[in-house]
Amino acid sequence: EFSNELDGIALDVDEECKTVEDAKKSEKWKAYIQNAINKYNKDPDYCVSNAQRIQYFRILDGDFGVESGELTATMKLKRPI
């Protein structure tokens, strides 16, 4: 179940952030995620082609789910038509 409250190691990224809403506004969180993406994109053992590169990211308000309509019954992401 999705919770708006951060916990565990997520609280260590930016001590001022206690919720997902706070993390969405935090420059420390954005830099933390971007650094991880850059590291992944530069590692040829994990990112073996340009098709696998992460180009951008968003911190979402909630999880994807079948009930909310973002996932199919087989847990595949639905695409807009």
5: which strand partners?
19
Instruction: Give the pair of three-digit tokens for residue 19.
Output: 């919720």
Predicted local distance difference test score (pLDDT) of residue 64: 85
**Residue 37 confidence (pLDDT) above 80:** yes
Predicted local distance difference test score (pLDDT) of residue 67: 86
**Among 64, 10, 8, 60, which residue's Cα sits nearest to residue 32?**
10
**Each residue of 9-20: pLDDT tens digit?**
999 999 999 999
pTM of the model as a whole: 0.78
**Each residue of 39-71: pLDDT tens digit?**
999 999 999 999 999 999 998 888 888 888 889
Q: What is the DSSP string of 29-77?
A: HHHHHHHHHHHHHH-TTT--SGGG--------SS---TTTTSB-TTSPB
Pairwise CA distance, residues 24 & 1, whole Å = 19
